[in-house]
Structure 1
């Protein structure tokens, strides 16, 4: 963000000035492709059909030609949404150690606040850090949703912006359409949040959004604009239970849209997503039962196994394995093709008197010999013409995540009601479904972000999956402090239980989940609040002012403290390191008292070998620096109005660019 917009300046000292050389008048083709690649990465909406659309690029930059026509997804309010995405924020995040759980050891973060402002604050420290972002935004049913007040558009404005009325209120069309009015506020709310959130993803990161029928088609187009249509991966269909009172189709499904931050990069990395198949334990139990019952009579065991598969109802996860319908001492198995899907010369060879398939065998000769020794090759008999390969279910326990799956939604609600000892939140997402996704798409040390946290299902799901596979994933959740809806049973129950905001429900749910899973788990709470730094207001001349009084007013403003009067030093220190140094919220903080001067030391959670970061908001001196043992690799942030010029002059050559002064306006100091 531009520091001038929040009314404070950073003064840093550079050792030397870089030289500019080898400038050419025109870019080479490679340079042009590189430039287009950078533009595509920054503004994917400018490439709606894979090629650069200049009007769309200009529109994204706020410099559109109103007369230029191009294919685009638009709605009344899109310019406001674009402006909101570009605007800086003056919000900050204040730590609340008292409300947190196991603060000292916690690396998971729960943030209270408007998620757009929070995402903007997080950009400095979390840009390119998240492996996965999952959101379950407020569904737009046409009724009021939490973010409506700010983004609502009047009917008259909607009709004018959609071109149905002219500036005099006269109709430009034969029939007035008002249905789009309910979609415009939702899209205007979503767009800037998605734009900012995209910056937080790693290049190999993935974005997932749950949505229902009401906005599915709009969200797909919106995500195409934000991430680029070429980065669409799939649309999962989650069947959560049939609607018994439906008059036409049963419905009951939600959708999960999946986008890659850079799908081409995933391809270059040869990324493979896998999850453990569901329903295995039931099949294995049946397998043991049949082997105990029939011994080596595998034919009878096979017949009973197939009857059992047939008896399973549709949707039962074990039924998906019904093609594993043979059984022997090694377990249930199926046979697979031995032919390679693609021609490779090294796979073309005769094997034990059998000619190779047209593309060659599936495996090289040593592997075929091993499979033969293990009894896993099935030689042709009767009408069979090819060798087939025996594959046991217990050796094929993973597959790609399915595009369609069933998971009863009511189970998630029952589990949360039981955990909270009351129904205080409607329709929470299933931690079982989320855990499956996190297991497939993330790995050790990955960060997962959810900026529509709701009841906190994402946080609990990450903890549950970590407990299953022993990996250490972390999360950042953001939830607005919205009031429970007392017109609903859950809202009444929440208020009666003492919860004044949904955020309080989120935090309490995670406390209880931590106790149930592992009492060593914890999370840090931060709350979005107005900046503790002085925000500049333009100094306006008044009619009664003289030239001297006008200048005096400007000078007095410039010399005023850069920190709001009465601001808490700890809150200021966190704000400075978040915005100026890109520190993340799981970092360790140590407070030093050096000769009566309070100094904050921050250690980034995954950069303990790098230089130290110190913040001092008091009267820092050269003696303080000596007592700290300040090194050139350290970074030091000071209040400029608390440090005299002689101290600055002594520190500048020593610290160079790692010395940062917080000031209303930069000072010139001769070295």
Structure 2
């Protein structure tokens, strides 16, 4: 039986460096020399001069290389479940913890699985919190901050503009998180990032590097609330004006993504009144240049193909001749089914179109562009309890969801989830669009609120989700069919549950006595179960059945694809019960994991492996 030792890949999150090297090896094997990547050979294969790479255009800062390496360094951290019933199949997740470590934990289980990411990171205004990442310690820094290591939790620190590392600290915070986020996006996935002017330009350069300039889609702007703070100084002159909007950067994972249309409500006049617009545009297509009412353009093109335009010309002639004295063009268009097109020519017209115009009919909605200033950036929600200033407007996030074209059974992720505005927006968007399978993953650092009733921001977020869920479950009859209304599985970041995966080999002799049981004290079978799921690449919403075999608890994952036994005093009779369970589940391929110290004796352990292999289960491991 193979024991999963410290160096085994299933003790850590996905090793992104090894993954990348293996991809290079498959494409350019000559670049691997004595088992190591030779960067100079790789550059030569790509036709690059290795001596000029440092001169290329890009954004550089102190700590960038270290931040990138840390992002790709696997972690042994795990996500421990809060109390929830395994029998309740919940697809939504709420995770408490430093999002850098959490994103690493999710790499195997959710790689290329997320359709939509929205984040609202700290803007680096000089007053907001910036994560103080320690690239040498990672999880240790987080556990100290949250008081989980017996030390006093530290207070959130502002990234003061007087700090010499003002931009550097922020860049080192956001850079590794975006590297990891990209891996989670599916090929037609998209990320939206809210940001203000302090770091907009730096963020765009970072995203160009991580996602690729070709995958930059748009920068949207949304409106801030008006501030009157400058009014008192207006008469004496103002050095700067109040900023009235924020940016939302949008990048796709690949060229496979396309926006879906989104419409804002039209004005009352626009809903009832059409207007005329020039029929010419400047795209150079000679085949789309033809005669309309005595004029053929010499450059550019008409908007529609000839047969459609000819019909529209005739439609307007018919209207003018037979109906113009009886009704308006809007009334005629409505009476004929709201489908007719119209073209006319004003003989006094000038310009490229020489008076040729097409009629734009009334519309209830106006196709959106990047100007989202009809929507406020922040908006209070009636579902929020506790102290939380300036929550993101769910109306804004719902527009972004609409633009993303998110579909049934896809996943929304927000790893700076704050008060959980994204969760509320996802729930309400799913209900409105009958997306029964839409689900969400929220990740948030448990920052202190100073409120004894809801002492952490994560308490505010979870309470808000509960309030939203309860409200909509009371409002709609078919609420049980919506995944987003089922509630959520709650997890929190912590060290691995297993002692042997954290061995310091320099202190090995003093630790051996502790390994009679590899599982740490105060860790439950569910803790270990979900760590195994993560390290094996199973999503955290994977169906798990707990069954009893001779009073021993056995976890069956995805109908027997993985069977986990973490009990003590395992006998051959228990192993035979596992074989019977596999037979009942009719699983074509089964992996089995035991606790290494869980067998009654070594003879049982040896015979268990042989018995399982005899019945076709070759993948048997212990932890």
Q: Shift of residue 75 of structure 1? A: 2.3
**Cα distance change of structure 1 residues 662 and 7 upon mapping to structure 2, 3 Å threshold:** farther
Aligned to 1:392: 361
Q: 1:529 is matched with which residue?
A: 494
Q: More deviation in 338-347 or 460-469?
A: 338-347
CA contact (8 A) 1:341 1:362 kept: no
Deviation at 1:125, TM superposition (A): 0.8
Aligned in 2, Cα 1:348/1:233: closer, same or farther, shift over 3 Å?
A: closer
The corresponding residue for 1:115 is 99
- Match of 1:77? 63
1:615 aligns with one of 564, 572, 583 = 564
Distance 1:655 1:394, change over 3 A: farther
Pick aligned residue for 1:402 from 353, 370, 375: 370
Residue 541 of structure 1 deviates from its aligned partner by 7.3
- Tell me if structure 1 keeps the 8 A contact 2:348–2:355: no
Q: Deviations over 1:422-448 (max 9, x none)?
A: 6x1011111111111111113213311
Q: SS state of the match for residue 373, structure 2?
A: strand
Distance 1:116 1:465 in 2: 28
Partner of 2:404: 441
Give 1:190's match in structure 2, choosing from 161, 174, 191.
Answer: 174
Contact 2:222-2:376 at 8 Å conserved across structures:
no
Q: Secondary structure at the match of 1:516?
A: helix
| Contact 1:238/1:254 (<8 A) preserved | yes
**CA 1:474–1:231: 2 relative to 1, 3 Å:** same
State the alpha-carbon separation in 2 of the partners of residues 356 and 144 from structure 1.
Answer: 57
Deviations along 1:595-649, whole A, 9 cap, x unmatched?
Answer: 333221233xxxx8xx733222233513421244164623323116246222212
Within the candidate set 463, 480, 490, 2:445 is matched to 480
Match of 2:563, SS state, is: strand
Equivalent-residue separation in structure 2 for 1:72 and 1:352 (angstroms) = 54
How far did residue 111 of structure 1 move? 0.7
Report the equivalent of 1:377. 342
Q: CA deviation at 1:243?
A: 2.8
Rounded Cα–Cα distance in structure 2 between residues aligned with 1:128 and 1:87: 19
8 Å contact from structure 1 (residues 340, 363) kept in 2: no
**SS of equivalent residue, structure 1 residue 540:** helix
Which of 66, 72, 89 is the matching residue for 2:75? 89
* Match for residue 418 of structure 2 among 454, 457, 473: 454
Count, aligned residues:
512
8 Å CA contact retained: 2:98, 2:445: yes
Partner of 2:607: 646
Whole-Å Cα distance in 1 between the matches of residues 130 and 302 of structure 2? 59
Partners of 1:443 and 1:471 within 8 A in 2: no
State the shift of 1:590 in Å.
Answer: 1.7
SS of aligned partner of 1:125 = helix
Instruction: Report 1:505-654 matches (<5 A).
Output: 505-519=460-474, 520=479, 521=485, 522-534=487-499, 535-540=501-506, 560-580=516-536, 582-603=537-558, 612-618=561-567, 619=570, 620-629=574-583, 631=586, 633-639=588-594, 641=596, 642=598, 644-652=605-613, 654=615
| 1:256 Cα deviation after fit | 1.4
Contact 1:274 1:398 in 2 (8 A): no
* Correspondence for 1:256: 248
Question: 5+ unaligned residues in a row in structure 1: which ranges?
Answer: 12-25, 36-42, 58-67, 153-176, 288-323, 487-493, 543-549, 664-671
Distance 1:425 1:577, change over 3 A: same
Q: Say which of 303, 326, 330 aligns to 1:362.
A: 303
1:468 aligns with 2:422: no
**Shift of residue 512, structure 1, vs aligned partner:** 1.2
Alpha-carbon distance change, 343 to 151 in structure 1, aligned in 2, over 3 angstroms = closer
CA distance, structure 2, for counterparts of residue 480 and residue 77 of structure 1: 23
In the alignment, the residues of structure 2 paired with residue 507 and residue 55 of structure 1 have an alpha-carbon distance, to the nearest angstrom, of 52
Cα deviation, residue 578, structure 1: 1.5
TM-score (norm 2): 0.71
Following TM superposition, the consecutive aligned residue runs of length 4 or more in structure 1 with deviations greater than 6 angstroms are 50-53, 351-354, 553-557
Distance 2:169 2:92 in 1: 32
Displacement, 1:453? 0.6
- For 1:179 and 1:199, the matched residues in 2 are separated by 32
**Structure 2 residue matching 1:116: 3-state secondary structure:** helix
Aligned residue in 1 for 2:333: none
Kept in 2: contact 1:133–1:207 (CA 8 A): yes
Report the CA distance shift for 1:660/1:188 in structure 2 as closer, same or farther (over 3 A): farther
User: 2:201 pairs with 194, 209, 217, which one?
Assistant: 217
Gap change, CA 1:212 and 1:554, over 3 Å in 2? closer
* Alpha-carbon offset, residue 120 of structure 1: 0.8
Q: Any conservation in 1 of the 2:260–2:402 contact (CA below 8 Å)? A: no
Name which of structure 1's ranges 460-469 and 177-186 shifts more when overlaid on structure 2. Answer: 177-186
| Distance 1:350-1:205 versus aligned 2 partners, 3 A rule | same
Rounded to whole Å, the distance in 1 between the matches of 2:423 and 2:606 is: 49
Does the C-alpha gap of structure 1 residues 376 and 51 become closer, same or farther in structure 2, counting only changes over 3 Å? farther
Alpha-carbon separation, structure 2, partners of 1:333 and 1:356: 25
8 A Cα contact 2:4 2:622, kept in partner: no
| Cα gap change, 1:342 to 1:81, in 2 (>3 Å) | closer
| In structure 1, C-alpha distance between the alignment counterparts of 2:512 and 2:614, rounded to whole Å | 29
1:275 aligned to which of 255, 258, 262 = 262
Shift of 1:527: 1.6
Equivalent residue runs for 1:8-157 within 5 Å: 71-98=57-84, 104-143=88-127, 145=129, 147-148=131-132, 150=134
| Residues in 2 aligned to 1:103 and 1:649: alpha-carbon distance in whole angstroms | 32
Deviation at 1:457, TM superposition (A): 0.6
SS of residue paired to 1:217: helix
CA 1:198–1:5 in 2, change beyond 3 Å: closer, same or farther? Answer: farther
Whole-angstrom distance in 2 between the partners of 1:218 and 1:134: 18
Any unmatched runs of 5+ in structure 2?
12-24, 32-38, 137-160, 231-237, 316-338, 480-484, 600-604
Structure 2: distance between partners of 1:88 and 1:5: 15
2:188 is paired with a residue whose SS is: strand
Distance in 1 of aligned mates of 2:284 and 2:250: 33
The match for 2:621 is 661
Counterpart contact for 1:636–1:660, Cα < 8 Å: yes
| SS of equivalent residue, structure 1 residue 104 | coil
CA RMSD of aligned residues (A): 4.0
Query: Retained in 2: the 8 A contact 1:113–1:527?
Result: yes
Q: Which moved more, 1:187-196 or 1:334-343?
A: 334-343
